[in-house]
Amino acid sequence: MKTRQTDRLFAKSAFPTEPESEFGFTVKTTDGMARRGEVQTAWGTIQTPVFMPVGTAATVKGMMPQSVAETGAEIILSNTYHLMLRPGPDRVAKLGGVRKMMGWHKPLLTDSGGFQVMSLGPLRKIDEEGVTFKSHLDGSAHRLTPEISTDIQHKLDATITMAFDECTPFPATEAVAADSMRLSMRWAKRSREAFVQRKGYGQFGIVQGSVYRDLRTESVEKLNEIDFEGYAIGGLAVGEGQEAMFDTLDFTTPLMKADKPRYLMGVGKPSDLVGAVARGVDMFDCVMPTRSGRTGQGFTRRGTINIKNARHAEDSRPIDEACGCPACTHYSRGYLHHLFKADEVQGLMLLTWHNLHYYQDLMAAMREAIEEGRFAAFQTDFAKWQAMGDIEPL
């Protein structure tokens, strides 16, 4: 039977097998606390500040990997907890690791599984060595320790591996937050010892300490002693609110090494990203653009819209006239509204694409503003547009 070329949609180059670079980070320019940088990895260079779309189960829900790349994404995140349960680390390894298995040619970061396991509540039990928990899929018993998490991430072939930590719940007293942070620091050391160095791969430690300055300081110092390729800020975006998050960043990022990437985990909405970049953060991940895309929420320069709202039903305008994504280039709000009302999968495909494109455009605009030394003006402008609200249909 004859076959036809449909490869046009996908990178034609073979999947990369030779690491292109040692792992590294360069700050190219700064503007206030905001940094314009570049992370070098085995599988490509990442322009920072960067937003990493979430591909929990080795797929960014509703997106082909080439489409994810089309939005401008240079790195994605997958979840160790989900992948260790299904399809399992050995099976992923047999299929070539997450990147090869899912056809994602660029770098991949995996979390350590710690955050998801902690959220299991009564289904998990912590001890000094690690965590025992029951699968949310079938109730089967599993164990994660710094060593096991690091080994799984190796099998998943994560370009960036995260240290295994306890995500301190919020609110937590200073005593509870201190105990939790110190456990995470002992686990960070064990994670580092279990990490297998490979050319162009890196491992990040995670700063904990809740909203307490002394604890964050102690955590940064302990991680610096261990020495990672990068450092994440954990335990935020867990209910403390934007103000407390920004306050914590205000005293935390200045403590952190200037020559290493800083990654704020699980953040956030557009205004979170802008405020965190202003406070010296380089990397972000969040399910918000993808999850919102599945429920009908679209991001625009003027804030969010709910495409399922009846006012969009006959609106022939795109979500955002200034957006160059396929959803905005080719489809009306009215059509997207119809797709969501009819539960058609193309609705979530298009809105997810739009939202990821919006997030990548936002990051690109921030990078440009930092390069041009006008980040403060960008912030003002961003806030002004967001406050305008959506234009009503004619």
Active site residues per annotation: 111, 285
Interface pick for a copy of itself out of 27, 183, 255, 365 (rule CB under 8 A): 365
Q: Does 95 bind a copy of itself (CB under 8 A)?
A: yes
Q: Does 389 bind a copy of itself (CB under 8 A)?
A: no
Interface pick for a copy of itself out of 48, 78, 360, 386 (rule CB under 8 A): 360
SS3 346: helix
Tokens representing 176 are 């509870």
Q: Does 312 bind a copy of itself (CB under 8 A)?
A: no
- Report in angstroms how near the CB of residue 359 gets to a copy of itself at its nearest: 11
The per-residue b/e assignment along 333-358, b for 16 or more CB within 10 angstroms, e otherwise, is bbbbbbbbeeeeeebbbbbbbbbbbb
Q: Does 314 bind a copy of itself (CB under 8 A)?
A: yes
| Dist CA 346 CA 228 (whole Å) | 42
Q: Does 7 bind a copy of itself (CB under 8 A)?
A: yes
Q: What is the DSSP string of 208-231?
A: --TT-HHHHHHHHHHHHHH--SEE
Interface with a copy of itself (CB under 8 A), residue total: 63
Question: Whose Cβ is closer to a copy of itself: residue 224's or residue 271's?
Answer: 271
**Binding segment for a copy of itself among 207-215, 256-264, 272-280, 329-337 (CB under 8 A)?**
329-337
Question: Whose Cβ is closer to a copy of itself: residue 148's or residue 323's?
Answer: 323
**Binding segment for a copy of itself among 117-125, 146-154, 158-166, 319-327 (CB under 8 A)?**
319-327
Interface pick for a copy of itself out of 18, 128, 324, 394 (rule CB under 8 A): 324
Question: Whose Cβ is closer to a copy of itself: residue 97's or residue 114's?
Answer: 97
Are 281 and 233 in contact, with CB atoms under 8 Å apart? Answer: yes
Q: Does 3 bind a copy of itself (CB under 8 A)?
A: yes
Q: What angle do CA 261, 264, 266 make, to 5 degrees?
A: 140
Residue in this structure with the two tokens 């970049």, named with its chain if needed: 277
- Report in angstroms how near the CB of residue 317 gets to a copy of itself at its nearest: 11
Q: Which residues make beta-bridge pairs with 35?
A: 30
Which residues between 34 and 63 bind a copy of itself (CB under 8 A)? 57-59, 61-63
**Binding segment for a copy of itself among 6-14, 139-147, 235-243, 246-254 (CB under 8 A)?**
6-14
Kindly report the number of other CB atoms within 10 A of residue 137's CB atom: 9
Are 373 and 314 in contact, with CB atoms under 8 Å apart? Answer: no
Question: Whose Cβ is closer to a copy of itself: residue 212's or residue 335's?
Answer: 335
Cis? peptide before 49, omega within 30° of 0: yes
Are 318 and 29 in contact, with CB atoms under 8 Å apart? Answer: no
Kindly report the number of other CB atoms within 10 A of residue 221's CB atom: 12
Question: Whose Cβ is closer to a copy of itself: residue 261's or residue 347's?
Answer: 347
Q: What is the DSSP string of 115-156?
A: HHHHTTGGGEEE-SS-EEEE-TTT--EEEE-HHHHHHHHHHH
Interface pick for a copy of itself out of 54, 194, 277, 339 (rule CB under 8 A): 339
Backbone dihedral angles phi then psi of residue 344, each to the nearest 5 degrees:
-85, 135
Site residues, a copy of itself (CB under 8 A):
1-10, 57-59, 61-64, 67, 70-72, 82, 86-87, 91, 94-96, 101-103, 301, 313-314, 316, 322-326, 329-332, 334-335, 337-339, 341-342, 344-346, 348-349, 357, 360-362, 364-365, 368
